[in-house]
Chain A
Amino acid sequence: MVQYETTRLDASFAALSDATRRGVLEQLGRSDASITELADKFHMTLTGMKKHVGVLERAGFVTTQKVGRVRTCRLGLRRLEEEAAWIESYRQVWAARFDALDEVVEQLKRREKIDG
């Protein structure tokens, strides 16, 4: 069953709460990129992009590797967490449906009582 570690979840949501960081993940989903390339792409300073990548890295969304003078960023290995989040969102769809279905069932039961 799906269980989250709260602090981990907090870090994930904090990391994803920023539009630039979501954009960076989307970009890295297409291809790995250096911090310089990401800074250019998002019209930011190198320092600003380093901070964003740092947040994503601490949350486990991104890993970085320095080769020579270039730090390359790629998507982190979060498949399990991704799956947990995906399954949780799917569960919530069903939970919402079934709460609505409860009401329909209650109404049908009342109708049966009236009709005898």
Chain B
Amino acid sequence: MDNRTNIERTSERELVVTRTFNGPARIVFEAWTKPELFMRWWAPKSMGVPILSCEMDVRTGGTYRLAFGQDAATSFAFFGKYLEVTPPSRLVWTNDETEDAAVTTVTFEEKDGQTLLVLHELYPSKEALEANRGAEDGLPEQFGQLDELLATLTASA
């Protein structure tokens, strides 16, 4: 099984991430839609920022809210609304923390006991997608990312 994570910018406004999981779609879908499971993988240690809380009302029109940070004082939240919930094959949600945030669609396609996951992000504009990388006034952030990349490359060398 090829379990590499692939990413492609498919247009000026779209990013697509694909990954195959060794399990049926209902299980992978469950891990995306139950807060206690979701919290175990969405912010792995290597990201450096833990999830403080996770609330999900997983149904069409329902909302979610994710808080990250070391503690309540430094926390920041991501939140939005589920536009479509079709177990176990499709999830669509908005990211409402900024006007520039994407609409995210995740599809789960099962074949021979494995699940191909496709995550698609559609940004409101080319600028919005590119602002996400912090290039405009966020050069230091980008260097931080490059530093992380360097550390990873060094570690795996």
Contacts and interface: CB of A to CB of B under 8 A. Distances in A.
- Choose among A82, A92, A104 the residue with the greatest number of B CB atoms under 10 Å from its CB: A104
Interface string B62-98: 0000000000000000000000000000000000000
B5 interface: yes
B19 A98 contact: yes
A42 interface: no
Interface of B: 3-9, 15, 17, 19, 21-23, 27-28, 30-31, 37, 40-44, 46-47, 117, 119, 133, 135, 137, 139-140, 142-143, 145-150, 152-153
Given A22-B143, A85-B145, A104 B135 contact: no
Which size bracket describes the interface of A in this complex?
Answer: 35 or more
B135 to A, nearest CB: 7
14 contacts: A16-B147, A29-B137, A82-B135, A85-B142, A86-B145, A87-B15, A91-B7, A93-B47, A95-B5, A97-B41, A97-B43, A100-B44, A106-B23, A108-B37
